[in-house]
């Protein structure tokens, strides 16, 4: 529902759900609806208006980045840095909300934590338990703490990495986090997409039905304070160790003894909301022009990355049908069709057996890793281009 005083600033017509991949020939119609994002004139938070209730959707959610070297390195460094900076003792109780297949919690376990996950996807819960990471199959909310095992009802660390912006009510989520954390030593770790970077780089692909809210360092700091949290740092890890577009913060309850370590970039964001729709359109047009130019020159082109960024990028383009396919390292996506664009998804080895001249990378946060992998293939594309370089 639109809040009074909120103003529209992003409109993307008829966009799909990022995970609604279908098999070829599936007669069921894909979900398509406009994405409209409004900014609140009071608190400055941006919110997707008219969002779906996503509980059932996440029950079958299967996205994971556990196989990526870059993601694995980030997860290890996050666990190590948090324990080192805050002097956490062996056995520190760590809960992750949206724990996926348990990869991140397994890193914390290696660094001395007792761990427990909360994850709505039945598929990912099974993978987590196979990995030795216990998990509650649930969507996080005010009643979740009462369902946690007794030892985890006053946790030392609560993680939400790329999860907080998927929750429909941020205030409820933060209230639930307060209930879950130990009042005197609890640490809340949030990772969200950085709205200032989205705007600066025209990353329209990060506006999704699955994302309820969009945050800057300043709006996140203010929301935390309204919910009884003190933001401690936005510099736990240097940018080179983070993923793609990452705003990573650590906070604690006001009742805890921790003190702020930096200003967390707390100045109001310099975002020109009125101009962004036109800037976004220029970026989409630039992607279309790139693909059309490659095709006109007789160069065959494919995409890389069938996760949310790839799905939403292709869904907004006129020229997506000119891509031969989009390849992805996740075998669960192979043989499926990207929603709306209809681009087939294949394994990375398709580049060797069905070669292309140009590879357009949607998963730009993993660009270095992707380029190394692709370069080792026979018949590797002669040109590998990051989507961000085209959007500029």
- Which domains does the chain carry? 6-50 (no CATH), 69-253 (3.40.50.150), 274-391 (3.40.50.720)
Question: In the chain, what percentage of residues exceed pLDDT 90?
Answer: 84
pTM across the whole model: 0.91
Q: What is the mean pLDDT of the chain?
A: 92
Residue 110 has pLDDT above 90, yes or no: yes
Residue 31 CB neighbours (<10 A): 14
* DSSP one-letter code for 364: G
Q: Report pLDDT digits (tens) over 10-48.
A: 999 999 999 899 999 999 888 999 999 999 999 999 999
* DSSP one-letter code for 54: -
Q: Report pLDDT digits (tens) over 66-97.
A: 457 888 999 999 999 999 999 999 999 999 99
Q: SS3 string of 215-268? A: ECHHHHHHHHHHCCEEEEECCCCCHHHCCCCCEEEEEEECCCCCCCCCCCCCCC
Q: Quick one: pLDDT band at residue 59, thresholds 50, 70, 90?
A: very low
CA distance 125 to 75: 19
Residue 333 has pLDDT above 50, yes or no: yes
Q: Report pLDDT digits (tens) over 140-192.
A: 988 899 999 999 999 999 999 999 999 999 999 999 999 999 999 999 999 99
Of the ranges 200-204, 244-248, 265-269, which one carries the lowest mean pLDDT score? 265-269
Residue 2 has pLDDT above 50, yes or no: no
Question: What DSSP assignment string belongs to 77-98?
Answer: HHHHHHHHHHTPPTT-EEEEET
Q: Quick one: pLDDT band at residue 303, thresholds 50, 70, 90?
A: very high
Q: Report pLDDT digits (tens) over 128-139.
A: 999 999 999 999
Specify whether the CB–CB gap between 136 and 103 falls below 8 A. Answer: no
Q: Quick one: pLDDT band at residue 263, thresholds 50, 70, 90?
A: low
């Amino acid at each position: 529902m639109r809040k009074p005083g909120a103003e529209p600033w992003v409109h993307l017509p008829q966009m799909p759900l990022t995970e609604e991949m279908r098999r070829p020939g599936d007669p069921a119609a894909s979900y398509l609806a406009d994405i409209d994002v409004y900014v609140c004139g009071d608190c400055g938070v941006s919110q997707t208006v008219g969002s779906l209730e996503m509980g059932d959707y996440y029950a079958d959610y299967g996205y994971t980045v556990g196989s990526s070297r870059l993601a694995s390195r980030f997860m290890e460094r996050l666990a190590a840095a948090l324990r080192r900076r805050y002097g956490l003792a062996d056995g520190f109780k760590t809960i992750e909300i949206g724990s996926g297949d348990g990869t991140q919690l397994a890193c914390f376990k290696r660094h001395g934590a007792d761990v427990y996950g909360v994850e709505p996807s039945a598929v990912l819960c099974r993978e987590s338990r196979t990995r030795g990471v216990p998990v509650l199959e649930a969507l996080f909310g005010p009643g979740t703490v009462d369902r946690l095992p007794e030892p985890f009802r006053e946790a030392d660390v609560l993680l939400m990495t790329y999860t907080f912006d998927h929750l429909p009510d941020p205030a409820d989520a933060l209230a639930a986090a307060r209930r879950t954390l130990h009042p005197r030593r609890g640490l809340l770790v949030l990772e969200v997409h950085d709205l200032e970077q989205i705007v600066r780089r025209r990353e329209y692909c990060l506006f999704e039905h699955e994302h309820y809210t969009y945050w800057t360092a300043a709006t996140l700091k203010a929301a935390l304070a309204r919910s009884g949290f003190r933001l401690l740092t936005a510099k736990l890890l240097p940018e080179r160790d983070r993923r793609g577009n990452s705003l990573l913060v650590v906070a604690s309850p006001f009742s805890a003894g921790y003190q702020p370590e930096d200003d967390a970039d707390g100045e109001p964001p310099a975002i020109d909301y009125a101009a962004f729709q036109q800037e976004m359109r220029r970026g989409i047009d630039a992607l279309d022009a790139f693909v059309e130019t490659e095709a006109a020159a007789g160069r065959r082109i494919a995409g890389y990355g069938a996760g949310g960024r790839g799905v939403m990028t292709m869904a907004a383009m006129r020229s997506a049908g000119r891509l031969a396919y989009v390849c992805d390292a996740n075998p669960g996506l192979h043989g499926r069709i990207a929603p709306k664009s209809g681009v087939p998804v294949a394994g990375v080895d398709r580049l060797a057996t069905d070669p292309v001249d140009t590879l357009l990378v949607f998963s730009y946060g993993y660009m270095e890793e992707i380029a190394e992998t692709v370069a080792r293939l026979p018949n590797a594309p002669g040109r590998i281009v990051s989507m961000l370089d085209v959007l500029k």
